[in-house]
Structure 1
């Protein structure tokens, strides 16, 4: 039986995922009619964000927590350009987001139309720069192959986003194609025999080996492999969750380290970015670098051995072939600022860490709050998200929504400063509308700390560092969000515990008035 492109698209999407994010427009009406039918038949669930920026990020974090693709559908023109931040973040972070966008009618491509960028290939040319692959569908018959290929590319090797574009006049065309309803699995990169041999030879010469696990190692349960190796495990900030932070082998994070001890380093799933290596000044021992993305090799630090492999695939091949000498060390824990005036960042991190359950998912926004969030511990893989590279301000709230949809049984907390909050709090409407119950911690101090510190250091003065004060409680209660306020130290613990409890029942914001002169101790030590 002949089917339209829109029907075939939904056949492919519904065979791969249960949840779809998108903002409708006149260009995609036939596709949204198909989505409506699938929602009524309970084949998919549909979520509409308030802006494409937030929607693409919701789908990105859904993908990260689900271990599957995340689908976001935008209209062409401004819908596509609004989605670009989410697409670029997914590319930077290795997330299998699939962005589906429309284009004007192909048959009238030389004429000006609604949402016209002026150059017909503009969207796909832009998308090519920040995706693993970009496709345009010209006929219904192409849909099954293009979508299967898109899912496979997004989920293989180092995961990453794919862009699919459909001219609106193609959406309603009919064809005889039939989508094969087979779910595309995640695939790992396994090392070659030569790479395994080189790695084993390198490890055989180590007397004090150290593991360093980055974000690429934090997505799988590696603990059985780590326990067989039995050596100290450091994580980067982005790699938190690779090993439970209460595990005997956990040695700490590298954020405040000037030098990694030991005589050899096994670095897995890290790109050695500037913020996690003290702007590449950190001293490393002899290094074995493992990553599925070969572009990170020998760019920031020169490794003695490189292996192109996923973390789990590499450890599967190596742990039974080596017997490493056991030894131990732990990063020295420094004093934190718990006694300062008012609520400090350190005090908030401590209270939050104690109030959350162990099955927590922590998402930090850009700014001082993300340094504070380093001291909120996690105990499971795929539980901690702190960009530090692309670092899009205002992403934590839509990220928390996408994460909670993916893993509704887990406790999701988004930590965000007031400047970032003002840029994205409208996405809480989506949470209220759909009953997505998670916790947002609003670190309200009225200032952009990093901007202020850098301006003071460079110019001795500041400019545009203050955040315009608003009554967040009035605004949020108008949306339907539960707000719990902590105005001083005496209220903090009670308010935090109350907010954590409420967040299991409805979207909740813990509004914390932090001393504007507070700075996380990790920054002052650095």
Structure 2
């Protein structure tokens, strides 16, 4: 007789789940009863926050939902930060947690791991939040989660199951997955209105965000049909190849790019929030003088923060294909590539002082580990790379400086990315000495999972970015100069390869050797190293 927990495993398999990130505990062990007979791989992080970040990284490289198992109480509160990062960046994540027995819910009797309401805590960082009160509800609730991932804005879904329900008989439940929806397409009248605005434009521009990451062919075809200088946001990098002539530059508020967007007679924005983190170091408000067409799966997004003149609510790829069909082939050549070249040159000149240091680091990574997936933390290397770096393909450059902006994201997220990426592609971490200490214990999980990630640590003896920010605001830095342990020794203690590099040749050699090592490698670069200075 199969239990509810065992049927859950069968349902996850039926919906295509291949990996679960979780930590077993006394309240959720019944979730594990069926795992030994399933094809699902289980990966054990050292903290539930790590589980969530691993699921996030896995989801970003595969496009599939990352799945986590947590325990009651602290398991949920530990994973909430990771759920917040995924919620902010529209990443599909399924968090399945135990909770106390139905008879004890809201009893305030001091039960183990008891919270007044786990579900309410999870609700703020999830698109859907459910409590399974009987096994009969399980198939429908799981189907709702995967329906959201398939047909809506893909954010975390939280499902909690009381410990008594997990163990209940459930052999009668169906295991067949339900039919899932496709994302919607805007009405034909809206497509026609957008096509009319596009035909009338003389100086169009295109902004593409992470909502279009699954449609590289449609994005490229549309950019070329529009003949528009194109800006790819951080989560959209790689949708056009690095040398594509229509790439105009990177961050939205690079002064020449912002001026061009505001002067354009048409801006088409696809799957982007115009978010604050695309505007480093200072967020700014855009005032568009031309027509703004916004394409987004979320109807709420087309009204803020820059309301659309022509809103198109629907799947990015399908909507772009419908627009291409409505527009037909271009009749004459335009000046898009010339305008884009001018913007590239102007935006490169406007990059902040010191960018060349980080350009050399990223060039070394590209040379030694071509076509790597690069996973970043909130750290100086990432803040600068966001302003110039162009990966070769989509789903290859992402970091936690976007959206929620968590520290400690990169190492566990890279473990998840490694498990979802073909073995021949390297996975590289960009992290600071402050950030890595948040989740350094996940090196153990990386070694255990044989996740051969390459960790490039930027060591500036603490929270260097905040230190500089405080000084810029004439505040004496307090709490930013930290005791940083010997990261090389710690990494070796976990079983990783590790070294501190003191020259460009040593960095190149270490990166090359890391690409062939079957376990994680940590490479430490000190910010004050002589070889970075010129």
The TM-score, its normalising length taken from structure 2, stands at 0.89
Is the 2:88–2:404 Cα contact (8 Å) retained in structure 1? Answer: yes
Measure how far apart 1:518 and its partner are: 12
The answer to whether the aligner puts 1:404 opposite 2:404 as a matched pair is no
| Structure 1 alignment gaps of length 5 or more | 522-526
Q: Which residue of 2 aligns with 1:524?
A: none
Aligned to 1:226: 223
Q: State how far apart, in whole Å, the 2-side matches of 1:460 and 1:176 are.
A: 64
Match of 1:391 in 2: 405
- 1:100, CA displacement in angstroms? 0.4
Q: Does structure 1 residue 140 correspond to structure 2 residue 135?
A: yes
Partner in structure 1 of residue 23 of structure 2: 23
* Alpha-carbon offset, residue 407 of structure 1: 1.6
Q: Which residue of 2 aligns with 1:373?
A: 385
Q: For 1:158 and 1:239, how far apart are their aligned partners in 2?
A: 16
5+ residue gaps, structure 2, are none
- Equivalences for residues 90-105 of structure 1 within 5 A: 90-105=86-101
Structure-2 residue corresponding to 1:305: 310
8 Å CA contact retained: 1:366, 1:391: yes
Distance 1:519 1:272, change over 3 A: farther
Partner of residue 351, structure 1: 364
**Tell me, what secondary structure is at the counterpart of 2:235?**
coil
CA contact 1:56–1:87 (8 Å) conserved in 2: yes
Q: How does 1:54-453 map to 2 (within 5 A)?
A: 54-109=50-105, 110=107, 111-117=109-115, 119=116, 122-182=117-177, 187-222=182-217, 223-255=220-252, 256=254, 257-261=257-261, 262-277=264-279, 278-282=282-286, 284-286=288-290, 287-322=292-327, 323=329, 326-327=334-335, 328=337, 329-330=340-341, 331-332=344-345, 333-334=348-349, 344-358=357-371, 360-374=372-386, 375-387=388-400, 388-409=402-423, 410-453=425-468
CA deviation profile, 1:421-470 (whole Å, cap 9, x unmatched): 11112111111112111211111121423211221122342111223221
Contact 1:455 1:462 in 2 (8 A): yes
Q: Cα 1:520–1:74, aligned 2, differ >3 Å: closer, same or farther?
A: farther
Aligned Cα RMSD in Å?
2.6
Q: Which runs of 4+ in 1 moved over 6 A?
A: 335-340, 516-521
Distance 2:530 2:181 in 1: 46
Give a deviation string over 1:111-150, Cα, whole Å, max 9, x none.
4311112x2xx11112122211111111222211211121
Give 1:266 deviation, angstroms: 0.9
TM-score, length of structure 1 as denominator length: 0.90
Structure 2 partner of 1:14: 13
Q: Does 1:456 align with 2:458?
A: no
Once the 2 structures are TM-superposed, how far is the Cα of residue 299 of structure 1 from its aligned partner? 2.3
Contact between 1:429 and 1:479, CA under 8 Å: does it hold in 2? yes
How far, CA to CA, are the matches of 1:493 and 1:518 in structure 2? 12
Q: 2-side partners of 1:335 and 1:203: how far apart? A: 30
* Whole-Å separation in 2 of the counterparts to 1:439 and 1:451: 25
Out of 515, 528, 533, which is 1:500 matched to? Answer: 515
> What are the superposed Cα offsets for residues 482-501 of structure 1, whole Å, 9 maximum, x if unpaired?
11321244533333333334
| Helix, strand or coil at the partner of 1:293 | coil
Q: How far apart, CA to CA, are the structure 1 residues paired with 2:155 and 2:36?
A: 28
Residues 350, 231 of structure 1: alpha-carbon distance in 2 compared, 3 angstrom cutoff: same
* Deviates most, 461-470 or 91-100: 461-470
- d(CA) in 2 for partners of 1:160 and 1:242? 21
The answer on whether the counterparts of 1:438 and 1:506 sit within 8 Å (CA) in structure 2 is yes
How far the C-alpha of 1:300 sits from its partner, in A, is 2.3
Is the Cα–Cα contact under 8 Å of residues 338 and 346 in structure 1 kept in the other structure? no
Deviation track 1:342-374 (CA, whole Å, cap 9, x = no partner) reads: x9434322322332212x211111121212332
Per-residue deviation, residues 262-313 of structure 1 (Å, max 9, x unmatched): 4211111110112324522455452211111222223222332221122201
CA distance in 1, matches of 2:186, 2:530: 49
How many pairs were matched up? 508
The separation in 1 between residues aligned to 2:507 and 2:77, in whole angstroms, is 41
